[in-house]
Structure 1
Amino acid sequence: MAYSKKNQLRPWKTQRYCIPEQDLARFVAQMEVVLDLYGTQPSEEEPLIAMDEASKQLLGEVYPPIPMQPGQDKKED
């Protein structure tokens, strides 16, 4: 392999939001409902009101991070 061993571990690189939920099918189904809502045509009878921000702060890890391995970045949510 053309890569040297010192370049196989990259501690400065981290992939985020890549650890799937345990109930991934339910999460995807709920996400599709939201995406379908945003895909509808605007209507004066039923205006679309969106609130994208919540006053919640993550104080700890939901899932434990997956440590880096040669050729793989560290993964955390």
Structure 2
Amino acid sequence: MANKSDAHEEFYFDYIRLLVENRMLHRSGYYLGASNSFVRLFTVAARRYWLAQATSEHITLLLTREMHHHLLD
């Protein structure tokens, strides 16, 4: 039975290659993103949708905080 430290996998990225492949994927309508231990592949349209949703949620949170602040004044 393998212990947990043996089961841990580490991934290393060749970021130069990742950037080159990202350019090729982008030309084909895809977006490749990497952060921490995740690599994400989106269609460009799906990434725009994801960014719009994230922006909308962020703005909603800011407005809610601002309204709450004014109610307390």
Same-fold status (TM-score > 0.5): no
Higher RCO structure, 1 or 2 (CA under 8 Å, sep 6+): 1
More strand by share: 2
More helix by share: 2
